[in-house]
Structure 1
Amino acid sequence: MKKNIFFFLMIFFSVLSFAQKTVSGKITDEDGIAIPSASVTIEEPGKDAILAYGITNSKGEYKVTFTSAESNVDLKVKAFNQKPLTKQISNSDQNLSFKMQSEATEIKEVQLKTKMITARGDTISYDLKAFDSKNDRTLADVMKKIPGVEVNADGTILYQGNAINKFYVNGKDLMEGGYGTINNSLPKDAVQRVEVLENHQPVKILQDKVPSDQAAINIKLKKSVTMTGRGEVGSGFGDPWLWNVKLTPMFFGQKSQWVVNYKTNNMGEQVENEGNILAFGNRFEGRRINAAQNDWLNVENADVPNLPVKRYLMNNVHYVSANYLTNIDKKKEWELKANANYTNNAVERESYRQTDYFATSDEAASRVTQNIFNQFYTNKAKGELIFTKNAKKGFFKNTTSFSQFWNADRAIADRTDPLGSRHGEESVDSPTSSFQNSLSTIIPWKEKMFNVQSFINYQNDRQTLDVTPASYLKLPGFNPGNNAETVRQNFRMKTFEANHSANIGFSKKGWTFTPEIGFNFKRTSLNSDLTNLQNGQYFGYGEEFNNDLTYSTAVPYASVGVNYKNDAWMIYANLPVNSNNIKADDPVRNVSKSVNKVTFEPNIFAQYTFASFWKASVSGNINNNFGEVNSAYAGYLMTSPSGLYAMDVENPIPQNNTKSAGTRLEYRNPLNNLFFNVNYRYSDTKRNLISSPTRNTSGFTIIGYREEENHALSNAYSAEVGKYFPKFKTNASVTYGNNTSKSDAYQNDDAYNSKNNTQSYGFKFNNTYFDWMSIDYNASISRTKQTSRSLRAELNNENSRKGFTHNLGVFFYPVENHTIGFNWDQVNTNSGLNKYNNAFYDVSYQFSWAKKNVDFELKWMNIANKKVFETYDINPQSISYTRIQLRPSQVMLTVKFNFK
């Protein structure tokens, strides 16, 4: 592995050093007056290919860095009302200044042409019209086709493979990271262009002082004051009657912005996740989290297929949200933001699974079949209030949020195993309250900057798991009495967390040093008991099934941040020394554990920009994790009807040390519309505890842990290449990934080593060349090989799995304002003699009432009425066949319109 890293880094740094030259100087007219905004390009002689380019500043100065193997290159200068200049220069570092001759630029005809991709500094602008098709209606429809930009299934926007840190509309951050609503509902016709802000530092006072390696997206609207939005109303035939309503009016002004959103459907569209925070900004803005329950207790869950959600989600959802932003001062530096959302959702799910467990030293090979029917009920509300000042002379941000959950899960399970057939009914009720407040302020004083941050989080989780009848459970070494009707697991957890820090920043000649001191504190109390009911009387299982644990972590720390930025280099490092003080106490179980350890956990990143279009970076970090409350409780806890979990009283607090390093090479050239990146990441985690599950032939498991040093290694390679072909109006990209993980493990006291290698290939293609047709195509191929090696040869196993998925969308425009669409989803699984092919087809017809900007769509989904999804999976100790219930064929009539 060390050879692989050395080889990769050798190539990496050789690219940096190969024939890299810089030409700089000044461009003036015949009178010696500086010419701003003149373009300076470097080209290889006789080739129509730009190696690098630059734009002169207000003083007429330019600087261009390039890489070429030629001994000479051509330097070309162009400016308005000046005669173009071309000069062949040597491939060397040099300073060259030029005087340009005046020449009137004759304009025969006034014709405005917008370049589809333009670049200025760290900003790359995309003209949306260059990438859309006649069938596209929203920003999200077009964003997926922009070269260098990718949209994940959860709505996260990636640029060059990395998540963005901000999403602006006309320069304002209304959504505070929850940009899914705007991306999915903003009409494309309201957008002038999409801007990618590379290396974006969102805190203005830190710009040119503390660099960032992340990009941001800014949506530039056609009008500075825009009232817009998107709406849909649909109804359809299926089982049951179908509906789909989306109403999302929006307003974007110079002083205020707002978005109101209501969406409801029962036709398989997952709209409730639009409010999730997808971009988290900068650490100096404070801390923001997606509030979520601590889901310790769960019913047995039906499987979920590797398909688009619309194919299997049996839902009944109502989601409403409102986002508001306004400036509260004349200078427009202070902003008030108020956000709120509410979700009411009911989901049904059903699957059948047949699992063949391999033999262990204690148990023979066995087969377990299970049919599970679920009903999940979600009720949650969230409110948020944010005050922000983001100016060159100071920064302030306070975020207060409150979330409340009233969730309930149900399951009906039928199980057949070597001990017989059983029927069980399971339920979990889980109310949760959560409160957070985050404060961060930066105050300038002469050449220094003072930053104070505070984060407070309190959460209260209550959960109850019931299993009826108790005889459904067949856990190793634990079975309810014959008269037990119900087994109940009670659980409550209270969490309080407070993080406070203060730092001061010094800046000089591009360097910024930030000494910081802080104190992080977290206290969690866990109470649980496992009981059963017999003939209406209460019976407990004893102290071994109770927990009364308090787990506290106190970490005072001191660190130094080092940042540097110039035209070529961007370096930042954080060098903290942490004093970790962890304590776990449970007098009922005689648990008293502690760790007091000082750790050094550096995090370093360096990026070098060269030849205008290239970026190369390296990173590395060391991290220590001492576990949470879930790694310290000693009383048995039934987290699911399929298993019990507990830590041995004698086990120490976990200590996990992770060392990781990575490198990245990136190229983005808006002049020829070519983007690509290559990545490598290596990590090694050393742990002092190892999981040691005990499983019986019925598949029920008790999870314990051993004190034993073990490692988890990971190697990941990835590459992506994308190019837009303007002549053919085609955007294409290919991706490759190779991930290998190795870890030590136990099963029924048998030690083994598990190795998993996954290779994936992806291809994306869209074309709008023809006026009568457009095509969108995505395909991926994956190969997985799972190997388990033990000292006992009869326990060794090796399995492999191949997968293929694709999505084809073709739209025909036979007559103006008429669209016929065809969609094909294909998911195939292949493992040995087991092959499962799953195909889904949709057709649609859309009529556009152009005068009113209204669409009428008739869509038939799942034409073949495929009702189940079949797949085959491999695991270190089992092989599973799964059959999952899908949505039946359905027909929808929808009216779509824009708010204006």
Structure 2
Amino acid sequence: MRKLSILFALFFSLFMWAQSSISGKIVDEDGKPIPSASVTVEEPGKDAIIAYSITNIKGEYKVTFTTPEQNVDLKIKAFNQKPSQKAVKNENQTQNFTLQPDATEIKEVKLKAKMITKRGDTISYDIKAFESKSDRTLADVLKKIPGIDVNKDGTVLYQGEAINKFYVNGKDLMEGGYGTINNSLPTGAVSKVEVMENHQPVKILQDKVPSENAAINIKLKKAVTMTGRGEVGVGMEPFLYNLKLTPMFFGQKNQWVVNYKTNNNGESVEREGNMLAFGSRWEGRRGQSAGNYWLSVDKASTPNIPEKRYLMNNVHFFSANILTNPFKSKEWELKASTSYTNNAINRDSNRETIYEIDTDFFKAGKITTTESNNLYSNAAKGEIIITKNAKKGFFKNTTTWNGFWNEDRGNTSTRYNMAVPDPTLKDIFIDESLSAPTGIIKNSLSTIIPWKEKLVNFMSYLSYQKDRQTLSAEYENFTDLGSGFDRFDQRISSSTLNANHSASVGFSYKRLTITPEVGLNLSFNEMNSQLFADGNLLGIGYQNNIKWNEINPYTQVGFNYKGNALNLSINLPLNMYGIDYKDLLRSKDSEISKTVFEPTFYGSFDFASFWKVSGYGGLNYRYGDFGSVYDGSILTSPKSLNFRDSNLLPENRNINSSARLEYRNPLNNLFFNVRYSYNDTKKNIITKSRPFASGASAVTLEFIDNNSFSQTESAEIGKYFPKFKTNASVSFTNRDSNSFSILVDQNNVDNYIESKNNAQTVAVKFNNTYFSWMSLDYNISLNWNKNSDDYRNNVNKNSGWNHNLNLFLYPIENHTVGLVWDDVTTSQGATNLRNSFYDLSYQYTWAKKKIDFEIKWLNIGNKKLYETISYNTTYFSTTRNSIEIRPSQVMFTVKFNFK
């Protein structure tokens, strides 16, 4: 926390020393207020705007700026009025203006829209300014806009932080699962992309409770729009197919999106159903549903390259979302959605590990492990949401059902080639299978009711989840876990019932809102497990029948200040944790009863028109989760036997803090941010494992206090150069962290190891559409890593880089030639492994019908393996990993818009 205080002191000392504010009112000669007049502050003798403001409907303005100059020029401009200019001192003051009429007959007007404009907390981007001839969907353009980035999973970031809402024409149809719209909305239907900073999605709280996140609103050209995107493609490998059909409708009362996508060419379209934005806590509880997976097969590695390079899939994904106003009042919205996924994935990888010297863990030699998988999944979801989001009240109820049916297959082989032959080491072969059905139903309710000058909030969340899993493994020559059995069958069934209820009352005084709250969180969990060997149930040491129940009553008070420039949010909760672990087989009962104070703080301050500084700090405690302890051993994977002793329940204390400085100037298209975060975790338990040469491990717990931390510093600057139609950004990240573990060597000695890591990354992004015959996108990131452990006093350094080039040429109207070059390199010592991929495409556009005909040749060099190299400082071992990827393939695709 001391580092955070120093950082804040530095921010304020640099940027608060010369801050001034000028406010006033602008009227015409009749004394009537003039709205939408522009007010700019400029340094004398320079044509450079340092701050600006726009008058409101009452003709009022306020502009805040920072400059070392003693005097500044204040300039006023308004339509049909004579411009006015006045030299004023650099100090806080009031300046009123009366403008004289200046009506002019305009014979011809040519309007040139600004690429980036700012009004209040909303920044608008003209999408045409950033679009190239090869761009077809919103996702193609969004990542080129200054200040905006898109993660590999589709999450949209603004100034490095995930957005909390994704609207289309002001409506939230997708409720966080916006990947479908982002990937299928044609650019031709979009007018502007609006970023709403500090966005509070609950309207009744917008002037009372600040938010640290931004939202994005996609403003369409028409209020009523029927659009969408489709693709039909076939190819050879020996046979490939790709079908995408996504019609959309956006009206003033109704919106809907229907989506069906299927392919076997390496595109994971099913991820479009993932939740990427979670709104505000006042909307209720939202989250991505998943099974509670206790067991897994050994899985082949996946490379750090675009999925289209390696994903061997056969997927079908269907989804439908609808939004309507069911009542006469437009404040009420009904949303319904459903989705279904059927997917099959094949993976293969080979791992070769060379142990350089004899250690207490492994003997010198080479061990080769091959892993192969067939992963089958089915998932279904249904959801109904009814919402009233108005200035005079809020109501939201969400009912969700999820079903997952996963069937995973795998086989693993381990081969030994030791420096000194060891007859006890025989090659190992394992056939594996896992069946894992899951069912989840949940309901979230939140309502905010105005009562006189107060706001009353009730929240309720209920969920029930049932998981059943069966892991089977057949072995040949495998004795590392101390058994001579040929087959294991691990069975687990578990259930979880959660109930969370709270009530709060908000008291407002001017810009301050005080919200006392009381709540009760309940969680009831059960788990049964049995391990069978060669068809026979093993003894009590391999069985579990446990209950893990939590009761968490709490009370808290929140203080929220929402000002024009300053926003503060402080929560002061007092939590009472009661946790009861029962082992019914062993008549064992462990309990935790704690009362703890867990405060959080968030604050932001906007100054000098374009600058913003913000900070966050929090303290929280965790006392384990369901599954963190159990007294019967569980075969969590075919080569991992886990035993988590419950003699002491987990106790973790976590302190986290962050600070951020941002600069967003739409006048010169410049965006900049610096971020710092620090996390400190104190635990009472360390994982203790005994590794085997085959990759197997026996895992238990050791009760030792330990502290781990992570610290990250990052900076990013981006600018759009309109004269050259170029958007460029540079970012840097430095991260330090440590972790603790206990490894048991071959002499049964416990080795307490602290591992430290330092990682640095520099990334450059560049796109250019200056030439009418060419567009270019180029991204490169370079990384350096340093790993060490105090047990061996061994230090290792490695590095790598990853770059992507997308070059499109337009030699003739409606003809496009594309080149894609992906390159990933890892370096370890004198070894450099380079993975280069090249794609070539040709596209003809039937302009009249807006249809594209594309032929694409992927992986021209027919590269079949992706290779990486790494070093383990504890084992003095080098591992070379080879992953099977997609071979060369040719696809012919027809792409079209629905309207």
TM-score normalised by length of structure 2 = 0.97
Equivalent in the alignment of 1:557: 554
1:427 corresponding residue in structure 2: 433
Aligned to 2:704, what secondary structure does the other structure show?
strand
TM-superposed deviation, 1:335: 0.9
Q: In structure 2, do the counterparts of structure 1 residues 770 and 839 end up closer, same or farther at CA, with 3 Å as the change threshold?
A: same
Q: Are residues 1:416 and 2:415 paired?
A: yes
Give the superposition deviation at 1:635. 1.0
Name which of 288, 291, 300 aligns with 1:290: 288
CA distance in 2 between partners of 1:515 and 1:232 (Å): 53
* Contact 1:80 1:105 (8 Å CA) reproduced: no
Cα distance in 2 for residues equivalent to 1:366 and 1:684: 39
Q: Secondary structure at the match of 1:469?
A: strand
Cα offset, 1:391, TM superposition: 1.0
Q: Deviations over 1:6-55 (max 9, x none)?
A: 54333222134221111111112233322111111111123232111101
Distance 1:428-1:20 versus aligned 2 partners, 3 A rule: same
User: Which residue of 1 is the match for residue 13 of structure 2?
Assistant: 14
**2:739 alignment counterpart:** 743
1:618 aligns with 2:618: no
Deviates more, 1:667-676 or 1:580-589: 580-589
Q: Answer yes or no: is the 8 Å Cα contact 1:591–1:634 preserved in 2.
A: no
Are the aligned partners of 1:415 and 1:423 in contact in 2 as well (CA < 8 Å)? yes
Map 1:245-644 → 2, pairs under 5 A: 245-356=243-354, 361=360, 363-364=362-363, 367-417=366-416, 419-469=425-475, 471-475=477-481, 478-480=482-484, 484-533=485-534, 538-644=535-641
State whether structure 2 residue 748 is matched by structure 1 residue 725: no
Residue 629 of structure 1 aligns to a residue whose secondary structure is coil
Tell me, in whole angstroms, the C-alpha distance in 2 between the residues paired with 1:362 and 1:52. Answer: 65
| Matched letter for residue 268 of structure 1 | G
The residue type equivalent to 1:570 in the other structure is: N
How many Å separate the matches in 2 of 1:662 and 1:668?
A: 20
Q: In 2, distance between residues paired with 1:575 and 1:365?
A: 56
Amino acid paired to 1:192: S
Q: Which residue of 2 aligns with 1:185?
A: 184
Q: Are the equivalent residues in 1 in contact too, given 2:15–2:66 (CA < 8 A)?
A: no
SS at match of 1:384: strand
Post-superposition CA distance 1:442-494 (Å, at most 9, x none) = 1111111111111111111111111112643522xx213xxx33111111111
Following TM superposition, by how much is the alpha carbon of 1:104 offset from its aligned partner in structure 2, in angstroms? Answer: 2.2
User: Structure 1 residue 708 and structure 2 residue 704: aligned?
Assistant: yes
Aligned to 2:28: 29
Tell me the distance in 2 between the aligned counterparts of 1:547 and 1:800: 44
C-alpha contact 1:487 1:532 (8 A) present in aligned 2 = yes
- In 1: Cα distance, 2:197 partner to 2:493 partner: 45
In structure 2, how many angstroms separate the alpha carbons of the residues matched to 1:52 and 1:412? 64
Distance (Å, rounded) in 2 between the aligned partners of 1:506 and 1:473: 67
Moved more, 289-298 or 361-370: 361-370
Distance, in Å, in 1 between the alignment partners of 2:11 and 2:279 is 29
Equivalent pair of 2:414/2:694 in contact (CA under 8 Å): no
Deviates more, 1:688-697 or 1:199-208: 688-697
* Paired position in structure 1 for 2:817: 820
In the TM superposition, residue 662 of structure 1 has moved relative to its aligned partner by 1.3
Match of 1:116 in 2: 115
Structure 1 partner of 2:858:
861
Distance 1:189 1:311 in 2: 29
- Can you give the 5+ residue segments of structure 2 that lack an aligned partner in the other structure? 417-421, 745-749
Distance 1:343 1:6 in 2: 49
Q: 1:422 to 1:345 in 2, by over 3 A?
A: same
- Deviation digits for residues 565-608 of structure 1 (CA, Å, limit 9, x no counterpart): 11110011111100000111113245321100001101100100
Residue 541 (structure 1) shift:
2.5
* 2:227 aligned partner, one-letter code: T
Asked if structure 2 preserves the Cα contact closer than 8 Å seen for 1:724 and 1:730, the reply is yes
How many angstroms does 1:107 deviate by? 2.7
Identity across aligned pairs (percent)?
56
Q: Deviations over 1:427-454 (max 9, x none)?
A: 0010111111101111111111111111
Query: Cα deviations across residues 772-830 of structure 1 (Å, max 9, x unaligned)?
Result: 0000011100101001012xxxx332111101000000000000000000000000000
* Structure 1 residues without counterparts, runs of 5 or longer: none
Q: Is the 1:82–1:102 Cα contact (8 Å) retained in structure 2? A: yes
Q: 2 CA distance for matches of 1:581 and 1:595? A: 6
Q: Matched residue of 1:708: which SS? A: coil
The letter for the 2-side match of 1:449 is L
CA contact (8 A) 1:38 1:77 kept: yes
Q: Within 5 Å, which residues of 2 pair with 1:842-853?
A: 842-853=839-850
1:595-645 superposed Cα distances (whole Å, 9 cap, x missing partner):
000011011001001011111011100010111122111111111122111
The SS at the match of 1:247 is strand
The yes-or-no answer on 1:810 pairing with 2:807 is yes
Question: How far does residue 94 in structure 1 lie from its aligned partner after superposition?
Answer: 1.2
Task: Identify the match of residue 683 of structure 1 among 679, 693, 712.
Answer: 679
Q: 1:850 and 1:585, CA in 2 relative to 1: closer, same or farther beyond 3 A?
A: same
Between the aligned partners of 1:39 and 1:120, the Cα distance in structure 2 is: 11
* Per-residue Cα deviation, 1:227-274 (whole angstroms, up to 9, x for no partner): 1100000000113x0000000000111111110000000000110000
Cα deviation for residue 677 of structure 1 reads 0.7
Q: Is the 8 A contact 2:428 2:476 kept in 1?
A: no
Q: Distance in 1 between matches of 2:270 and 2:340?
A: 9
Normalised by the size of structure 1, how large is the TM-score? Answer: 0.97
Instruction: Report the equivalent of 2:419.
Output: none
* Residues matched between the structures, number: 884
String of CA shifts for 1:201-237, please: whole Å, max 9, x gaps: 1111111011111111111111111111000000001
Q: Distance in 2 between matches of 1:18 and 1:458?
A: 55
Which position in structure 2 is the counterpart of 1:783?
A: 784
Residue type of the alignment partner of 2:667: L
Return 882-891 or 104-113, whichever deviates more: 104-113
Q: 1:647 is aligned with what amino acid?
A: R
For 2:848 and 2:202, how far apart are their aligned partners in 1? 44
Q: Is the 8 A contact 1:754 1:876 kept in 2?
A: no
Partner of 1:763: 764
How far does residue 831 in structure 1 lie from its aligned partner after superposition? 1.1
Aligned residue number for residue 194 of structure 1: 193
Structure 1 range deviating more: 84-93 or 880-889: 84-93
Moved more, 25-34 or 679-688: 25-34
Instruction: Give the aligned residue type for 1:633.
Output: Y
In the aligned structure 2, how far is the partner of 1:47 from the partner of 1:759?
A: 40
CA distance in 1, matches of 2:333, 2:358: 63
Q: Is the 8 A contact 1:660 1:681 kept in 2?
A: yes
2:776–2:806 CA contact under 8 A, matched in 1: yes
The 2-side partners of 1:657 and 1:873 are apart by 33
User: Shift of residue 523 of structure 1?
Assistant: 1.4
Contact 2:590–2:646 (Cα < 8 Å) also in 1: no
2: CA distance, partners of 1:399 / 1:110: 51
Q: Give the aligned partner of residue 49 of structure 1.
A: 48
Q: Counterparts of 2:623 and 2:47 in 1: how far apart (Å)?
A: 58
Alignment of 1:663-702 (within 5 A): 663-702=659-698
> 1:683 Cα deviation (Å)?
1.2
Letter in 2 for 1:653: L
Give the Å deviation of 1:112.
2.4
Partner SS state of residue 172, structure 1:
coil
Deviation of residue 367 (structure 1)? Answer: 4.1
CA change 1:875–1:439 in 2 (3 A) is: farther
Q: Is the 8 A contact 1:473 1:641 kept in 2?
A: no
